[in-house]
Structure formats: C-alpha cells, structure tokens
Amino acid sequence: MRVITFSVFAFLAVFAQAEKRLAGAHVHGLNYAQIISDGSTLQVNYEFPIAQLQEHDEHKDDEHKHEEHEHDEHENVEDIAHLHVELKDMDNILEFIRLPDSAECTQKTINQSVKNVVAGEKTNGDSGHKDVLIEALLVCRKPGNITSFDFTPAFEKFADLEEIEVEGVIENRSLSDMVSREKVLSSI
C-alpha cells in the first residue's frame, strides 16, 4: 500500500507541475485523462476546453453547419448558463471512456466543474480561458479485467477533438500515452 500511495502522490505532483506549465493557455483539440487504480477503486479525471461544449452544441443544432472555430469563450459567453446545464447532463464518465464489460465497473460519484486556466483571473467570471473537469469514482468487481481503456466515445462526442493525453497509475504501474483521433477511429 505504501508503494501505491507514494505512486499516487508522485503522479499528482507531476500533474500539478503540468497544470502550472499549461496555466497560461489551453490547447483546443487536446484533452487530458488521468486514471488512478488501486484495488477495486478506479478514479478517472477527464479535462477539456469549454469551447468543445460550444462546438458540440453547434454540431447538435445543425449537422451540416461548419464554421471556422472562433474563440467565442474568450470574448463574451452569453450562453454560459446553457453550457453549465449541458455539463450537468454529462453524468456518466462512460460518455468519454469505455472500460471492458468484464471488469464490472459501476460509477459511484461524478463531479463536473469549470475552471479558469489563465492565472490571476477570478474563478467565478464568465470570460477568459476555461476548462471543464469531470471527476468520476468507479468501483470494479473484477479490476484485473481492466486491460484497456477505449476513448472512442470521447472522439465520437467531440468533432474537434484531435488527441487525448492519458496519464495514470494502475496498481503499481505507470501509464502514459497520447491517443489520437486517427489512431482510435481507424481501428473501428
């Protein structure tokens, strides 16, 4: 247990450093997933720019309409309340990641939040660069059957998503990978 606890703290320290490094801006088309597994408990954190919700909303409203991406969320977001409603509707981490059915995982909790990524801004303001953070806790009856993580649902959900940076600690092994749209959708 001491090795796992140390690994989790080491992972979180690296994650905190990455947050500090990226605090000046976020990259559109790039999402982040952190996965920590300890016994039957699986923690999945999924982070993406709030602009993806806006793009997702535009895509839902008109399948044939494709506008060049403008940094709407950086100027004046009039529909921020609508985005928060859509965020609350994202109540299952399996909307972003697929786990093997044989692992028999059940989601116990999920939290959604929006945070500014530009240092010095007030966290409750409606302007500026923002990221969405989804944090989910799952319990798996057969955690040994988790042999892969499939991010196809995230790529299907967000048309402008290009890559997902995945990091984590699975029991006592570290996990680090860059998953691309091309790689995932070409294997279907």
pLDDT of residue 119: 61
Give the ranges where 62-180 is alpha helix by DSSP (H).
Answer: 72-75, 80-89, 152-157
Give domain limits for the chain: 2-186
Contacts of 55 (CB under 8 A, 6+ apart): 69, 158, 159, 160
- Specify the amino acid at residue 44: V
* Rounded alpha-carbon distances, angstroms, from residue 100 to 7, 13, 17, 149: 24, 29, 31, 8
- Specify the amino acid at residue 175: L
Please identify which residue in the block is written with the tokens 């989910």.
136
CA distance 188 to 186: 6
Write the DSSP symbol of residue 121.
S
Half-sphere exposure of 85 (CA within 13 A, CB side): 5
pLDDT of residue 88: 80
pLDDT of residue 24: 45
pLDDT of residue 40: 96
pTM here is 0.73
* Rounded alpha-carbon distances, angstroms, from residue 123 to 38, 83, 100, 188: 32, 16, 37, 40
pLDDT of residue 129: 76
Query: Each residue's pLDDT tens digit in the chain (188 positions)?
Result: 444 444 444 455 444 444 443 444 556 789 999 999 999 999 999 999 988 886 555 545 444 444 444 444 444 445 566 777 777 889 999 999 999 999 999 999 999 998 887 765 544 555 457 889 999 999 999 999 998 999 999 999 999 999 999 999 988 889 999 999 988 776 65
At 45, list the tokens: 């954190």
Give the ranges where 90-173 is alpha helix by DSSP (H).
Answer: 152-157
At 158, list the tokens: 């967000």
